Amino acid sequence: MNLDAQERRRLLDAAPWYANGTLPVTERHWVDGAMQRDPWARAVVANWTAVGAAVAETETVALDDAVFDRLMHRIEHETRKVAVTADTGSLLRRLQSAMHALLGGALSPVAAMASVVIAVQGIVIGYMASGDAADEERFRAAGGTGRPVPALRVMIAPEASEAALRARLLQLDLRIGGGPTQIGEYWLRRHQPAERLEDERAAVDALARSLQDDPLFVAVRVDETQGER
């Protein structure tokens, strides 16, 4: 007995997934039965099987090894930046110890500490500046000029929905001020920045700390860029 109109609709819905092997077992058995009853059902399934075979036979292109090399270069570059920042504390202690050994009792502990802090800051800032040069270059090329503006630089979690993101930005009075960079980072800015640069820096720093464990963002840091695009 051939399928009636309702059964044909059911078969049309199920056939593509029967052909790709992901149809639930009960529905699969129903399709098997339908194919035994009606040549039309067999033809529909045969068509989808043919489509599947054609897709599967599509030529695949090998992925160049250079792609992996580019990936590792990016990982090395970014991991080193994080490591330098994270290691600041231990580097500080090592430098403090080295300075103390070098200077002995000739320098007071406070003065020695101040010297170390200045030295470490120089190292870190110099490193970060060189690491960010490419992104800043892209930013300037995109037309960003003017006085430094503190901003949050974030990577949005892949599972974050647009609605959740909008709600969070609204809640924090933030807007997307630029991006994405080549690694998918965005700049977030406050809608109403403070008039004094120091106040704005403090506000953005506080925001960065509050967002560290936010599931909507993968990486959050403070960035100062020249104007915005």
Site of interaction with another protein (CB under 8 A): 5, 8-9, 12-13, 16-17, 19-22, 39-40, 42-44, 46-48, 50-58, 60-61, 63-64, 67-68, 70-72, 74-75, 78-79, 155, 157-159, 180, 182-184, 215, 218-219
Name the residue nearer to another protein (CB basis): 182 or 192: 182
Report, in Å, the least distance between residue 94 CB and another protein: 21
Closest approach of another protein to the CB of residue 47, in Å? 5
Residue 191 Cβ vs another protein, minimum distance, rounded to whole Å: 23
What are the residues whose beta carbons fall under 8 Å from the beta carbon of 47, sequence distance 6 or more? 15
E strands present in the chain:
148-156, 174-178, 185-190, 217-226
Nearer to another protein, 146 or 158 (CB): 158
> Measured from the CB atom, is 149 or 220 closer to another protein?
220
64/195 with CB nearer another protein:
64
- The CB-of-120 to another protein minimum distance in angstroms stands at 23
Q: What is the Cα–Cα distance from 17 to 28, expressed in whole angstroms?
A: 9
Q: CB within 8 A of 49, min separation 6: which ones?
A: 19
Q: Which of 165, 151, 163 is nearest to 216 (CA)?
A: 165
Task: Write down the residue that tokens 């930046």 correspond to.
Answer: 81
**Rounded Cα–Cα distance for residues 219 and 222 (Å):** 10
Q: How far is the CB of 158 from another protein (least distance, A)?
A: 4
Radius of gyration of the chain (CA): 30
